[in-house]
Amino acid sequence: MPWSFDSHIHLSDSTYLPEINFILNQMKFLKIKACCVSMNIENSLETLSLSKQSNLVLPFIGIHPECANDDLEKINNLIELNQNNISGIGEIGLDPTYCKNIDDTKRQIQVFESLLSSAEKFHKPISIHSRKSLDDIFEIMTSYDTKHALLHWFDGSKKQLQKAMDMNFYVSFGPVMIYANDKQTLLSKADESKILVETDGPVRFSRCFEMKSAQISFIPSVIFCASKILEKTFDDMSLLLEENTNRFLGI
């Protein structure tokens, strides 16, 4: 039975803390590994601590664009000190939603480019936040290696999806795909070798999920949905996703 991966989840978020031992046991039972992404310095330290509790937690550390004013030097030092312990760098990227002025935009770009440089220096995969900024991400990433770069929760157009495929990005789809026709269409248009799945927990999802915070146990449902869209068996879809995620992680 192949391993499943949640390619992007904030498992070190305080939302999960009261039930973290149950979640870790659940991951073991369901054979799910988690790419645990971080928001800032404090959360990155929490991610590293959580990864010591279970080898099923694959730690990604970094600065989310919402937290772009965090200490960039400290996070880069943390990456260097833990280069042999981390699985990747993230969540990093751009998002104009959090920019009030041009200085905020410049700071986001500075943080993003600095962390991309660290990722290249230490040969680490990256998990990228690209809400409302895909074209800017594409432009910046022409100067960096995209072989192990994930555009998490891909929400672009078909044209932008093709651009992502041409640039060798991975793209991930989550629980919203189960009830959103546009996400199902995007999945069907993506290169099968570049598809990953995620929850982005603790984000809440509507419809069949009743606005509950995403749980890592949602992953089998996302895989099942993807298998139906791509006309594969669940086992074949699981194996494809395992191979894709291992290649993204460089393992």
Could you tell me the domains of the chain?
4-249 (3.20.20.140)
Mean per-residue pLDDT for 14-37? 97
What is the reported pTM? 0.97
Confirm if 233 and 221 have CB atoms less than 8 A apart.
Answer: no
**pLDDT averaged over every residue in the chain:** 97
Q: Any bridge partners for residue 197, and if so which?
A: 173
Residue 105, number of CB atoms within 10 A of its CB: 18
- Asked whether the predicted pLDDT for residue 162 surpasses 90, the reply is yes
Name the amino acid, one letter, at 74: K
| CA dist list (Å): 95 to 67, 92, 129 | 11, 10, 7
pLDDT of residue 118: 98
Mean per-residue pLDDT for 147-171? 97
DSSP β-ladder status, 212-213 and 204-205 = antiparallel
pLDDT of residue 230: 98
Mean per-residue pLDDT for 22-49? 98
- Asked whether the predicted pLDDT for residue 23 surpasses 90, the reply is yes
pLDDT of residue 1: 81
The per-residue pLDDT for range 57-106, each reduced to its tens digit, is 999 999 999 999 999 999 999 999 999 999 999 999 999 999 999 999 99
Q: Map tokens 């935009």 to a residue.
A: 105
- Asked whether the predicted pLDDT for residue 209 surpasses 90, the reply is no
Look up residue 51 and give its two tokens: 């990864």
What span, in angstroms and rounded, lies between the C-alpha atoms of 149 and 116?
10
- Asked whether the predicted pLDDT for residue 203 surpasses 90, the reply is yes
